[in-house]
Structure 1
Amino acid sequence: MQEIPTLHETPRVGYEDASLSFDASSEPVLTVNQGEHFWLDARSLLTGGLFEETGEYEKLSIPVTGPVAIRGVNPGDALRVDVHEILIARRGAMVTLPGRGGFTDGLGRAGHVVEIVDGQVVFDDHTRIPVRPMVGKVGVAPVGVGPNSSTVGIHGGNMDCKDVTAGAAVVIPVQVTEAMLYAGDLHAAQGDGECSLTAVEVEGSVRLSCTVVPSGANPNVGIRRPVVLSGDSVITIGDGDTLDEAARLALDDMLELLQTDRKWSREKTAMLLSAAADVSVSQLVNARVSAKVTLASRYFTAEPFTLDSSDTMNAQVSDV
């Protein structure tokens, strides 16, 4: 395994500091400066050994780690969270549950443990899936009662956007002082929709840094929902009780971003999106679903929320 010196030199929060909600009232487990790198360890279905002892998978949950307080961040700011590196364990797990999933006739209760070898998920003796590590849950604490860690919303949360990989960034509207950031729910691989209920759920660690997007440099910082920057694309995330609602919100946000940048009419902007943007599903299996609109950053005269993000590494598979 390649030695990662930053693993030991930067602040690190273990997965024992886990939470089942994005709670503003919790004491910070770490306080960092803007731009400072830190590690968060993440639990998975396999943490603690209960998965392999019981078939009662509905009793298992995947919490988030945190909160991390970010100095100098205030309500109304737009917080950019850069994902610099993801390390994942060499075993993952998946489940299905009655009444859950995106299939018409439903699914039974089943669990499946997989090994991860040479950048591949060994799904069975004859089937391999390329590893593409991602962060399923990234969010800040909202005002009031903290939503469940499996909930998506304006705070971010359980977006399950497979584009949140190493080298990506998530921009989230801040609601409370110092943001109170949480993250977790690492996946070795996930398809759009996470249609059976889970992706390849893995323990691991993620290295992050956070910076407020300067309001004077960008008129688009008044965002209402999370925006993902990944692979030369800008991705807006919508959430709702239905995919229809979620997609409309993601479309509205992209329309506003692009119209503000290009100074076009709503109609001309909508036509560009119809020709060049992709509307797709992030997650359709939880109580609130999430949809995304992806547009290549070249369609903007200036990519929204761009900041220098140095020391970004490709995702690696490692024992953690």
Structure 2
Amino acid sequence: MQQISLGSLNYEFNRFQEPCVRISSGETIRVESEDALSGQIRKADDLRDKSTVPFSNPLTGPIFIKQAEPGDTLSIKIETIESRDGQCATYTGNPKQLCQWLGTDVPSGAHVCPIRDGFVYWSDEIKIPYQPMLGCIGTTPAYGMPSTMPAGPHGGNMDVREVTEGNTLYLPGFVSGALLYLGDAHAAMGQGELSATGLEMAAQTTLTIELIKQKMISGPRIESSDELITVSSGTPMERATADAFAQLILWMEADYGWNRWRAYDLLTHVAEISMGYYEGGGLAVKIAKEYVAHPS
């Protein structure tokens, strides 16, 4: 298994960047990534200083998948997401839309949380279950050069909790080699990621990447052992919700034999929504496979 060590930090999905590794379909790799705070908060008195490091969500990559071409799909099985340093960090951040009610006199709130025995120790009194996820992972678009802040059809900063261990993420390929980037691991994150900062951690992520030739999907999909999940991002969030539902219906129709209007009806009653960063409009919609197994 190849180990991809931390190199220069990437803050864009850059199709002109030299690949850090070239792999074949079916290969399992282990990828080191820095935390979303660019490593600025390592101990209690550290501060997130955007005057020196203005960008967030540094990524490792790109990873070049041999024989991948535009119109193909990557199947990315997330085997494990491990803390590199046995800790994670967070800070209060800018309350943005909440300033109307909370004001703007915001303390840094930066603190480092140990990770041990399956928990994040947020304080002496409060421990949070360790539920690792990748906030930012994506292929590289064929035009433009999106930063690591927004999400889109390529993936990007989706910040949904379902990009986690044991699940398979499907991403469309737009350029030769697909050029996969990843990072922004969280030890845990609440629905909505209110302060725009999860429990950020440097990580070692193990992935198995397979190439699905000549199958183009319109945006990120996730498959768990018991759910089908589609992801959409953008504002207003109502539009992202509609898009994610539509893509799930079309997936059920194309791959599972469902009539789209029956799927539309069923999702009305059994679908669930998982919310990423609320201001970015990122969310996932999902349905249990037990329902999908009976097309109607």
- TM-score of the aligned structures, taking structure 2 as reference length: 0.89
Q: Which amino acid aligns with 2:5?
A: G
Check conservation: 1:279, 1:291, Cα contact below 8 A. Answer: yes
Matches of 1:223 and 1:251, distance apart in 2: 15
Structure 2: segments with no counterpart, 5+ residues: none
Q: Cα RMSD between the aligned structures? A: 2.3
Matches of 1:103 and 1:227, distance apart in 2: 34
**Residue 64 of structure 2 aligns with which residue?**
69
Amino-acid identity (%): 28
Q: Which amino acid aligns with 2:133?
A: M
Picking from 225, 237, 251, the partner of 2:219 is 225
**Residue 126 of structure 1 aligns with which residue?**
125
SS state of the match for residue 259, structure 1?
helix
**Residue 83 of structure 1 aligns with which residue?**
78
Q: Which amino acid aligns with 1:274?
A: T
Matches of 1:116 and 1:103, distance apart in 2: 31
How far apart are 1:296 and its partner, in Å? 1.0
Task: Say if 2:169 is the partner of 1:173.
Answer: no
Structure 1: segments with no counterpart, 5+ residues: 1-9, 216-220, 304-320
Picking from 17, 30, 34, the partner of 1:43 is 34
**Residue 293 of structure 1 aligns with which residue?**
285
How far apart are 1:177 and its partner, in Å? 0.6
How far apart are 1:46 and its partner, in Å? 6.4
Picking from 221, 240, 244, the partner of 2:234 is 240
Matches of 1:34 and 1:261, distance apart in 2: 22
Check conservation: 2:38, 2:58, Cα contact below 8 A. Answer: no
Matches of 1:86 and 1:280, distance apart in 2: 20
- TM-score of the aligned structures, taking structure 1 as reference length: 0.83
SS state of the match for residue 202, structure 1?
coil
How far apart are 1:254 and its partner, in Å? 0.6
Check conservation: 1:114, 1:121, Cα contact below 8 A. Answer: yes
SS state of the match for residue 101, structure 2?
coil
Distance 1:135 1:103, change over 3 A: farther
Distance 1:227 1:302, change over 3 A: farther
How far apart are 1:199 and its partner, in Å? 0.8
How far apart are 1:57 and its partner, in Å? 5.3
Matches of 2:99 and 2:171, distance apart in 1: 31
Matches of 1:150 and 1:302, distance apart in 2: 39
SS state of the match for residue 268, structure 1?
helix
Matches of 1:290 and 1:116, distance apart in 2: 27
SS state of the match for residue 19, structure 1?
coil
In the TM superposition, what whole-angstrom CA distance separates every residue of 1:222-241 from its partner, at most 9, and x where no partner exists? 32110011241111001112
Picking from 34, 43, 46, the partner of 2:25 is 34
Q: Which amino acid aligns with 2:122?
A: F
In the TM superposition, what whole-angstrom CA distance separates every residue of 1:48-81 from its partner, at most 9, and x where no partner exists? 5677443535746220100000001110111111
How far apart are 1:265 and its partner, in Å? 4.0
Check conservation: 2:26, 2:211, Cα contact below 8 A. Answer: no
- After superposition, residues 70-219 of structure 1 pair within 5 angstroms as 70-88=65-83, 89-100=85-96, 105-106=101-102, 108-110=106-108, 111-213=110-212
Deviating more after overlay: 42-51 vs 183-192: 42-51
Instruction: Give the count of matched residue pairs.
Output: 287
Check conservation: 2:94, 2:195, Cα contact below 8 A. Answer: no
